[in-house]
Structure 1
């Protein structure tokens, strides 16, 4: 059974790995001419079940070795004393199994795990799809025509597969009122394993070192009414960011001096995707393409890893009954996706203070929590939405499905 996957970032390679293990023939098409991120992208987290999926894939050791190793956070505010946060103890309290890794590093490792078992089509994209009930005829931008048993969109917030199969993004797009920008720049501050963050009402600026490159990663989060911009136009996005933070102060003038030269610049709204169903016929969606909970605030990377694993397992368990497999995948993952979407506005409200009270309280709460015993921290986390989202879906065991005839 031949499966075409659009997107070579996180969900796509995880899905391809497990489909190949179960006897499918996966192909990944990726519009960029090579791996998308290199060492770019912001730092992302793998918690609990997502970490376990990579262990079962055999790439956990490589992921663990590539972790950011950021162990402390200093939070600064205008006119206030800095607040120190022990990140190592905070993560230990949040999850018994956690790693923070650059998105580009994670993509590189997942590609290395799948490149010998998956056909990769770089520099191409899906132009048209026609599902006749027994298969999907696909025409690529390159002009190539091929037929697949199933097509899966794992191509992110602005999914091409979703647009072709489900219609325009606009009605499905739910902005949360925030924006995220990230780019690399020279190491001006000698950060080592430290993260510096500056908070004000409606804004957060963070910088941290990237040990693999010796560079610094600068991140900006801010609240704003819905902005109109072309998500493909990096120059327009850079101008928006420079205007938003042009008079901010702190270290921001030094950061913005390197904005124009940044080749790995990323900018997007903190938005969600809401769909009643994640599949139509023989075309399905996984990860942010189907149910983005919100970049930087919703645990989307862990959700993508777990959901890709479950999708592959349910397709294998259903054998040739693809509709049953897609239906069971959605039944298992929807509670986690819905919970992640519910917590995202709360997380955004915490990390981007919406008022003076939140600005005053958040840094001190972040500093106090890691000082509690790990067992107490985990009890506290288990009572809130973040902790519930991380541990709410037990990981199914599909080990007896290996190499089933499909």
Structure 2
């Protein structure tokens, strides 16, 4: 590696969760980092995310676990409710670092991103309001062209973007995105007196569900899910998307009209639920991180944990390779070799997901409620392995490596 730092320069595209954490640890390890983010400023928005198992250990080593816990959304468990809002089945909040629909560490995505961006990064340059439009890997470095016209010569490029990463497509091509047949719409709405501290989950039948979740900022985070074989709805303009949602949810009942009313004039995120599957996560001097590499989808409960864990492992392998005189190719291979088994488990969703949680008929809805009650009963929970497949993401199925060439914790 060459140029601006003894360890070389790494351009990281994406300042959500995985990107800032990677930038922090690479910076501490002696690399110069250019962190590029398409948004014009920090993105304060975002819904609930949870951090489990290996992800918690990474936050612990980074020194911000307690700050993340202090920013908890206040959610106290999950209740499946009927048309009148009556609980029909309840999932209690987690009793450990990895179990439960409501994790012990629930935090708004924007707050977690903010904590990560506030970490010390003395050798990191942050570039907001710009994005990568061209990559030329010429063997001994990468020429990166940004939308602004800025051209950077760097040693390595890390693509820490989302499912539909355009930067990934510049290098890997193909179509690694596999839709799961469901759309998710996220919007923040005013809190009312009926909102409590539980995640209220209402199945409206016909493959639809409405969710209301508490936050710690005085509002309520709402989610509309619906199964559909039609692709491309996420590419429509917002007005057309609202029209689709009003048609799909017009007779759903419960608090649905309240959520639909909030879509007028309120920003929302319309997502085609999908996973990303690639045979390799690196090509030459370019490597993928987080959802751009291996999105397991929000229904896996593992997206944030995978992003955090992957960022720490990638930083550790690059630091180790540099200290031992090895190449970035060795580091990228070690990163993928360590992380891929965890990703494979996270992407292996429970049978019938996501349709099983969004029943089409009243009979299937009753079966869902009964199943939840059985799985969360004392005898079933005592069996552990039987219920874990459905209620506990595999966040404990990975031991975070120790990297002597990374500091033990931030300070």
Distance 1:17 1:345, change over 3 A: farther
Distance 1:64 1:333, change over 3 A: same
| Partner SS, residue 21 of structure 1 | helix
Contact 1:2–1:148 under 8 Å retained in 2: yes
Q: Which residue of 2 aligns with 1:27?
A: 34
List per-residue Cα deviations over 1:53-83 (Å, max 9, x = no partner): 0010011111000111211333223489532
Equivalent residues in 2 for 1:224-239 (5 A)?
224-229=228-233, 231=235, 233-239=237-243
Contact 2:77–2:90 under 8 Å retained in 1: yes
Structure 1 residue runs of 5 or longer lacking an equivalent are none
1: distance between equivalents of 2:377 and 2:391? 19
Contact 1:93–1:370 under 8 Å retained in 2: no
Q: Which residue of 2 aligns with 1:290?
A: 293
Q: Which residue of 2 aligns with 1:131?
A: 137
Structure with a larger share of its residues in helix: 1
Match of 2:225 among 221, 226, 238: 221
Q: Which residue of 1 aligns with 2:181?
A: 177
Higher mean C-alpha displacement, 142-151 vs 364-373: 364-373
2: distance between equivalents of 1:11 and 1:359? 36
Match of 1:64 among 38, 48, 69: 69
Q: Which residue of 1 aligns with 2:343?
A: 337
Q: Which residue of 1 aligns with 2:87?
A: 82
2: distance between equivalents of 1:388 and 1:219? 21
Q: Which residue of 2 aligns with 1:107?
A: 113
Q: Which residue of 1 aligns with 2:314?
A: 311
| Partner SS, residue 226 of structure 1 | coil
Contact 2:99–2:393 under 8 Å retained in 1: no
Q: Which residue of 2 aligns with 1:154?
A: 160
Contact 1:17–1:117 under 8 Å retained in 2: no
Quote the offset at 1:355 in angstroms. Answer: 5.3
Quote the offset at 1:161 in angstroms. Answer: 1.6
Higher mean C-alpha displacement, 368-377 vs 344-353: 368-377
Count of matched residue pairs: 396
Contact 2:24–2:121 under 8 Å retained in 1: no
Distance 1:235 1:116, change over 3 A: farther
Quote the offset at 1:308 in angstroms. Answer: 1.1
2: distance between equivalents of 1:210 and 1:306? 25
Q: Which residue of 1 aligns with 2:24?
A: 17
Distance 1:230 1:94, change over 3 A: closer
Equivalent residues in 2 for 1:312-391 (5 A)?
312-319=315-322, 320-343=326-349, 346-353=352-359, 356-367=362-373, 369-370=375-376, 372=378, 376=382, 378-382=384-388, 384=389, 387=392, 389-391=394-396
Distance 1:357 1:335, change over 3 A: farther
List per-residue Cα deviations over 1:79-104 (Å, max 9, x = no partner): 89532525325667827x84111111
Return the TM-score normalized by structure 1.
0.89
Contact 1:209–1:215 under 8 Å retained in 2: yes
Match of 2:211 among 206, 222, 230: 206
2: distance between equivalents of 1:223 and 1:249? 17
Contact 1:370–1:377 under 8 Å retained in 2: no
Structure 2 residue runs of 5 or longer lacking an equivalent are 1-7
Contact 1:298–1:341 under 8 Å retained in 2: no
2: distance between equivalents of 1:298 and 1:138? 34
Report the RMSD for the aligned CA atoms in angstroms: 2.7
